[in-house]
Structure 1
């Protein structure tokens, strides 16, 4: 990573981070680090601890939904899955992950004292959201 100009790299569990940040990026369906939808409030608790007062979370997910539903902001979709990675003869431990629709994320965001705006909605129901206090 230093060849790309990144000089300070940490490999650590998100939930053990103690430094404070102006912007937290959880891209490529990164909200899934919460593992399950019922654990998403723990992610918001961690964000509250590590985001500066005017800080923001930029996150992306996708909304697998009825393609005839044009009211994206009203969707309450979420999907939980269990993955297990494999490369040749190396098999990783199974882990939980989820994706969440715009409506359900907004509902949980507001229930945890944050607000959310959709920055960009893609053609395939993927979206980029900005979450602030």
Structure 2
């Protein structure tokens, strides 16, 4: 039996029923990964350093894209920052509202056209929403329309090149492959029900910089394989 929202169901069950049964995440070429729903309810102290840094940099009216259970939105709201939680899962939206997030929008990112924001926050590998490298320009162009003239996009990602590196530091990547090495296809499962497969993009800093330039944006990038980028109008 297929369910289109395994993560939403897991988050909903944890919040309302305290059931902490894991979500299984599948990707071709990788062993299954397991995520406890409680992870989506983590406190600021429990967050990775990149997420903490992004939240500390957030300012003005913030759009939290893919808010899920609202851990980022709650932190910002408690600091007195105006935040709008954007979430395509109806189940997650129910959790967000029950957790007293003041502004919740149940929508896909690409269906949101107003208002504009001072900070657009995309965490937990925010580049993944673009799906593929080919789709990343349209993704950035849409975000640009939602960004105020002096606004900032805070987005994190990982360069998966490390998966292909030898001990001497060289990387074996098939440059003739039809697919960029950071493009994965995921499927999630919860309580025996699988969702539909979906593409997810991990992007290296140089590709991010080049695509931002093409869209009339500029970035300040972080270091190493996991990084936080601040993107602004050029």
Interval of TM-score (by shorter of Structure 1 and Structure 2): 0.7 to 0.9
CA distance in 1, matches of 2:189, 2:159: 26
Larger Rg: 2
User: What's the offset of the Cα at 1:4?
Assistant: 4.9
Q: Which residue of 1 aligns with 2:57?
A: none
Q: CA RMSD in A?
A: 1.9
- The residue correspondences of 1:11-26 to structure 2 (distance < 5 A) are 11-18=106-113, 19-26=115-122
Give the alignment partner of residue 51 of structure 1, picking from 147, 164, 186. 147
Q: Does the aligned pair in 2 maintain the 1:24–1:57 contact within 8 Å? A: yes
CA distance in 2, matches of 1:88, 1:5: 27
CA distance in 2, matches of 1:50, 1:38: 21
Structure 1, unaligned runs of 5 or more: 70-76
Q: Does the aligned pair in 2 maintain the 1:59–1:129 contact within 8 Å? A: yes
- The residue correspondences of 1:1-133 to structure 2 (distance < 5 A) are 1-2=96-97, 4-18=99-113, 19-66=115-162, 68=169, 78-118=181-221, 120-121=222-223, 125-133=225-233
Structure 2, unaligned runs of 5 or more: 1-95, 171-179
TM-score (norm 2): 0.49
Q: Higher relative contact order by CA 8 Å / sep ≥ 6: 1 or 2?
A: 1
SS at match of 1:59: strand
SS at match of 2:160: coil
SS at match of 2:105: coil
Per-residue CA deviation, residues 76-123 of structure 1 (Å, 9 max, x unaligned), is x851011111112211011011100111111111111100002x436x
